[in-house]
Amino acid sequence: MSDTEKAKPVNFIRAIAEQDLAEGRVAKIVTRFPPEPNGYLHIGHAKSICVNFGIAEEMGGECNLRFDDTNPTKEEQEYIDAIKEDVQWLGFEWAGEVRYASNYFDTFYEWALHLIKAGKAYVCHLSPEQAKEYRGWATEPGKPSPYRERSVEENLALFEKMRSGDCDEGECVLRANIDMASPNMNLRDPILYRIRKQTHHQTGDKWCIYPSYDFAHGQEDAIEGVTHSICTLEFADHRPLYEWLIDSLPVPSKPRQYEFGRLNINYTVTSKRKLKQLVDEGVVNGWNDPRMPTISGMRRRGYSATAIRNFCDSLAVAKTDGVVDMAQLEFFIRDDLNKSAPRAMAVLKPLKVVITNYPEDKVELLTTPMHPELDMGKRTLPFTREIYIDQADFKEEYSKKFKKKLTPGKRIRLRNAYVIEADSYDKNEAGEVIQINASLIADTLGKNPADEINPKGVVHWVSASHGKQATIRLYDRLFTVASPDKGEEDFLAHVNANSLTVIEGCWIEPDLANAANEQCFQFEREGYFVADRYEHTAAKPVFNMTIGLRDTWSND
């Protein structure tokens, strides 16, 4: 067993699956990942993906990708395409073809008829308000619908009217006949079918009645031969209904449902409804905005699939919910990028430096490693008379606080290049420093000055004549508080107004303009950045900040 396997946290579902295989209760582990295509996947789904696909992979089994597409009013092909892409980007492959709940609509309809004929389902004409009243409360039993005692023949005829489109939306539903006094609210005659006169993205206008998620879920598992149906804890109270339906129908197999704690991270929200609200109200620029906790957004921000999987694998698969500190995810992002991201230089707030004793037409091509510790090859840095450094790296007056900055009469080393000394500076009419006039200290490429007056600090730089201009987007956490959706207050009240800063006119090493989209770099002394997945071009480079070099939130 490898050190990584030894270090894996507890996973009680894996232990159950191992025992089921060992004792012959199942011949092969079959799991499934069943998203509803009503939004993009988020970091919580990433954990579920890793659990379902991971257990199947480890035990030589299979994992199905199945869309629970039972509600055409909220589902779109865009979401289906994005979900498939996200699963594959994370490095997983599903067994066989992509599956849909809608593949089984004919079977579900026949099974609804089976329940009606067995006296276990009936058509109910209570309005939603009346049904809520009849349902009772957690501490008070419900009361039977006045339509509960309809005959089998009448229910069959009414259900056919529902199917043929002769009933209006909301006029009636098909309900299971279970127990209106059950302490489990999910067993109080739950809805099995609703009327939805909507075109479905897979079946078109074939159907105007659609099964509920609870009715479809277990039956899909049974049809597909799923052995371990893994859900998050909110479905624990649904398990008795899951099992009731499995036991009441002529299903080809009998899967078992297991629940584990969902992944919650502070400083974010993972409710699809709230994520959609962020998109619809323009708080973010779409589902793949790099500030979003969606897999697509994290990918665009420069998070790698490896880092996300390592993070998910570090979490216990337990029977309790919990909140994970964002810093834990960020640790894995930094750890991965530190090993995989080549180094480069970018000046976000440029200040021109003219090296007055360097020839105007001279271009010196300096070479330096792409990574200080790993063999990633070398990169070329054009060194010229005029360069840019960051405004923050120059101070008009020397002080011990700024001893590592460039100041008049003081020296600084240019990263991977020479030592220079500031002689003077120019200001504009507003009193802003616009140019530094400096001298190059001879024979200091890779060496300290011969006069032993050594520089106190090192700054990054870019050639003013050979560098390229770029747009750089700086990202911070989307919310200013750890629990933005806690309590009664509107979560939008906690949106971080400074979560995005767009800087135009930045200067980057010339080769960065040709970076591949989604290629990540460490911009030295600035942080980790990625060439934007959609907008970066050689003519108009665009880089997104992935994460800073260090955690700036840890003391909050």
- Helix (H) / strand (E) element for 337: namely helix 326-340
Nearest Cα to 30, choosing from 183, 224, 203?
Answer: 224
Nearest Cα to 469, choosing from 388, 547, 399?
Answer: 388
CB neighbourhood size of 199 (10 A): 12
In sequence order, which residues have a C-beta less than 8 Å from that of residue 533 and are 6 or more positions away?
288, 299, 300, 517, 518
Cα–Cα distance measured from residue 68 to residue 103, given in angstroms and rounded to the nearest whole number: 10
Tokens of 130: 């009346």
Catalytic-role residue among 14, 272, 385, 410: 272
Specify which residues 200 forms β-bridges with: 204
Nearest Cα to 148, choosing from 112, 176, 170?
Answer: 176
Compute the residue count for the chain: 556
Helices (H), 364-408: none
Strand ranges (DSSP E) for 240-385? 256-260, 263-265, 322-324, 343-344, 346-347, 350-355, 364-369, 378-383
Catalytic-role residue among 36, 154, 243, 386: 36
Cα–Cα distance measured from residue 316 to residue 310, given in angstroms and rounded to the nearest whole number: 12
Residue with tokens 């804890």: 233
Question: Is the separation of the CB atoms in 506 and 540 below 8 Å?
Answer: no
Q: Is 262 a catalytic residue?
A: yes
CB neighbourhood size of 183 (10 A): 10
* Distance (Å) of CA 223 to CA 39, 190, 192, 193: 26, 22, 18, 19
Nearest Cα to 62, choosing from 53, 71, 70?
Answer: 53
Catalytic-role residue among 262, 276, 404, 456: 262
- As annotated, the active-site residues are 36, 262, 272
